[in-house]
Structure 1
Amino acid sequence: MKNALLLFIAFMIIACGEKQHDLTVKGQIKGLKKGTIYLKKANDSALISVDSLTINGDSEFELHSNLESPEVLFLYLDKNSSEKDRIRFFADKGITEINTSLKNFAFDAEINGSTQQKTLEEYEKMMSRFKDQNLNLIKEKFEALKANNKSKLDSLENIQNSMQKRQYLFTVNFALNHKDSEVAPYLALTEIYNAKINLLDTINKSLSVKVKNSKYGKELQEFIDKINESEK
C-alpha cells in the first residue's frame, strides 16, 4: 500500500512537471530526411513561429502551441533550400494529425483534426471548382484576343464577372449556413473583406454567441466597427 502511494505521488510530480499544451500537431512527411518544420500563426500582418523541429533522419514530427480559441495555423517546411512550402489548417484544442510527402508537401496533405478544418475543406472544395472555371475562361479569353474576336472577348468578360459575383454570394451563403463555426467570420475577414458592409454585418449578426466570442468573431466585429466609424 505504501509503495503504491509513493508511485502515485511520483507520477503526479512528473505529470505536473510536464508542460501542458492546448494544441498538438503531429504526423509524418514521407521522404523527408533533413529540414526544419515550423508551426506558425498570424500576428497582425506577419506570420510568427510558435514551435519548430529540425528533422534529421526521422520523418515523423510533433509540434505544440497554446490556443485560446479555434484559429488558422500554418505548417511550414524549410527544406534547407530556397524553396519553402506551407499547409494551412484550422486548429482547435486537442490533436491535429497531418500526413504528407516531401515531393508534394501542400498538395498531398491529409489533415485530421478539428470540425472547423472539415468545414474549411468543404468550402475549399467548392472554391476549387470556381478556380478551374476561371482558368478555363482565361484560356478562352487569350484565344479570343489572339483571334481579335472582340464580341467573344466581351461575352467571356461578362461570364467572368458573373462568376465572380456567384463566388462572392456563395461565400456569403456558406458563412450564413455555418454560423455556428469559427470558419464563418474567418471567411468574412479573408475572402470577402471588401464586400458591402451590409453583407458583412448580416454574417456578423447571424453568428452564435460562442463564435462571436472567438478570435475571428471579435476581429470581424472590430473590422465592421472601423468601417462604420470611417463612414460617419
Structure 2
Amino acid sequence: MMKKITLICLLLFIAACSSKKDGNMIVQGKIKGLKKGTLYLQKMNDSILISVDSISILGDNTFKLTDNISDPELYFLTFKGSNAKERILFFGEEGVITINDQIKNFGFSPEISGSKNQAVLDKFNKINKQFLNQRLDFIQKDFEAKKSKDTKMSKQLEAEYQKLTRRRILFATNFALSNSNTEAAAYIGLTELYNANIKLLDTLNKSLSEKVKQSLYGKRFDDYVSQIKKSEEEN
C-alpha cells in the first residue's frame, strides 16, 4: 500500500514539474547550476510582460516549455527571483529551440539554437556591440573633455560621434536589407533605426518579403514608417 502511495506521489510530482501545455514552439535545454526554482517563458503583451508557461525544477536542471506562436517574436526565459538583467532574450518561432546556460552569469552568454531569426540577430549584435563600445568610449572622453573645460576637444568628439552614429545607422540598414526575408530585419528596423531618415526606413520597409510584411514586427514597422511619413507631410 505504501509503495502505491509513494508511486502516486512521485507521478504527481513529475507532472507538477512538467510543462502542461502543448504548442507549436518548444523551448528546451539545460541551466547548469539551477538545482531548485521555477523557470518562466514570457513575452510582451500590450507593453506588459506575461508568463505563457512555467516549470518547477528540483534536482534536474533540464527543462521544456511551450507556447502556440503565430509569428516569430521576442521571448524571455527567466527564473523566480531573477531581475531584469538576469533574463535570456531570444527570438521565438515555430519548432524546437534549444537554450543552454548556467545559473552563474545567467543570460550573459547563453547558447541558443533552432531559431533562424535568433541566428540573424546574433550576427547583428556581434557587430553592433562594437559600435556600442565605441559609443561608451566617446561618452567617457567627452566627460573628461568637459571636466577639463577643453571646448576644442568637445567639438571634435561631437563631430566624430556624429560620424559614428551615421556609420552605425548605415550598417544596421544594410544588414537588415541583406536579411529582408526574416522577421529579424523588421525588428532591427523598429529597435535600431529610430534615428534613421525616412528614406532609409522606407527603403527597408519596401524590401521586406511579403511573409515578413504580414508578420507581427513587419506590420509594426510598416505602421512606424507610415506614422513618420504622415508627420513629415503635416509639417
- TM-score normalised by L of structure 1: 0.84
- Which residues of 2 match residues 10-89 of structure 1 at below 5 A? 20-79=22-81, 85-89=86-90
Count residues with an aligned counterpart. 214
Partner of 2:100: 99
Deviation at 1:147, TM superposition (A): 2.9
Q: CA deviation at 1:229?
A: 4.2
Q: Name the amino acid aligned to 1:50.
A: V
Aligned residue in 2 for 1:116 = 117
* 1:108, distance to aligned residue in structure 2 (A): 2.7
Deviation at 1:82? 6.2
Instruction: Give the SS at the match of 1:26.
Output: strand
Query: Quick check: 1:77–1:84 contact (8 Å CA) kept in 2?
Result: no
Shift in Å at residue 100 of structure 1?
0.6
CA deviations 1:111-163 (Å, max 9, x no partner) are 11111111000000011101111122222223323333221222112211211
Letter aligned with residue 122 of structure 1: K
Q: Which residue of 2 aligns with 1:198?
A: 199
Amino acid at match of 2:69: L
Deviations 1:53-89 (A, max 9, x none): 222222111110111122221112223x667611111
Counterpart-to-counterpart distance in 1, 2:58 and 2:85: 17
Using a 3 Å threshold, how does the CA distance of structure 1 residues 224 and 137 change in structure 2: closer, same or farther? closer
Comparing 167-176 and 142-151, the one that deviates more: 142-151
CA 1:83–1:162: 2 relative to 1, 3 Å: closer
Q: 1:52 to 1:167 in 2, by over 3 A?
A: same
- For structure 1, which runs of at least 5 residues remain unmatched after alignment? 1-17
* Cα-Cα RMSD: 2.0
Unaligned runs of 5+ in 2: 1-19
Structure 2 CA distance for partners of 1:19 and 1:100, relative to 1, 3 Å: closer
Measured against aligned partners, the alpha-carbon deviations of 1:32-58 in whole angstroms (never above 9, x if no partner) come to 122221111122222211111222222
Q: Structure 1 residues 132 and 193, CA, compared in 2 at 3 Å: closer, same or farther?
A: closer
Q: Which amino acid aligns with 2:109?
A: D
